[in-house]
Amino acid sequence: MTGRGFERIAFVASGAEDAREARAALTARYDGVPLDQADVVVALGGDGMMLLTLHDVMGRNVPIYGMNRGSVGFLMNDFREEGLRERLAAAERTVIHPLTMRARDRDNKVHVAKAINEVALWRETYQAAKFRIEVDGKPRMPELICDGVLVATPAGSTAYNLSAHGPLLPLASPLLALTPISPFRPRRWRGALLPDRAAVAIDVLEAEKRPVAAVADNIEFRDVKRVEIALDRKTNLVMLHDAGHGLDERILAEQFGW
């Protein structure tokens, strides 16, 4: 890699036809290399493809530059074939950290997974779930009756968290969003903002009668009875965005309806 020139570029694409066609064209135009040889990865698709790519390079400290060939593309840059190396060299860097989820199931087996957007707990049946929530070992919510509950990072605050009426978090804010999904009791509880150093533990009450699944982004474990969530500060994930179109700007614009 020469400075910020990113000489070795890997191109990855979602299954959408537009994304696959874009990958073929860009790979030929910029002499694309395999993923394990890349200085930078260009992800073609929507936000789901960006998340998959971030998971694929986790621990390797390889920056990801997304270009929108999907539907929403909140995390992506505009698609253009020309001038890619110049765009990469001028791009703004955003460093984010994933959440680590440790989920213990009813057989006492522990499952560990990473989440870039959120860790969510969901009811598995028609019955509402019941949870007890601890923050840093201190009980904060003795009983929450709802469809589910999630912990979102700032990067994930614009995703499912926002759909569940959770708060939008500026990317640089040292916060996590704890957001209930369709709360029944306490009916008016809308969640909490937590410092990102907080350790959250969620116990499933009546786990046999009211089974719950735990999901870290798209990794699901069923029939859990306790889930522990904390930010993994040792893992850095780097996203690149065109100047003036970074995530901070997009999150700010989203709050004003744009």
* Residue 248 assigned as binding residue: no
**Active-site residue among 39, 47, 105, 217?**
47
* Alpha carbon 178 to its chain's center: 14
* Residue 159 assigned as binding residue: yes
* Residue 47 assigned as binding residue: yes
* Residue 147 assigned as binding residue: yes
* Residue 158 assigned as binding residue: yes
* Residue 163 assigned as binding residue: yes
And the tokens for 205?
């009450």
DSSP H or E stretch at residue 162: helix 160-163
* Residue 48 assigned as binding residue: yes
Residue 47 designated active-site: yes
Our CA angle for 202, 205, 208, nearest 5°, is 120
CA separation for the pair 168, 159 (Å, rounded): 9
* Cβ-proximal residues to 135 (8 Å cutoff; 6+ apart), any chain: 194, 198, 199, 200, 201
* Residue 162 assigned as binding residue: yes
* Cβ-proximal residues to 143 (8 Å cutoff; 6+ apart), any chain: 130, 131, 132, 185, 205
Binding residues: 47-48, 117-118, 147, 155, 158-163
Residues marked as catalytic: 47
Binding residues for NAD(+): 47-48, 117-118, 147, 155, 158-163
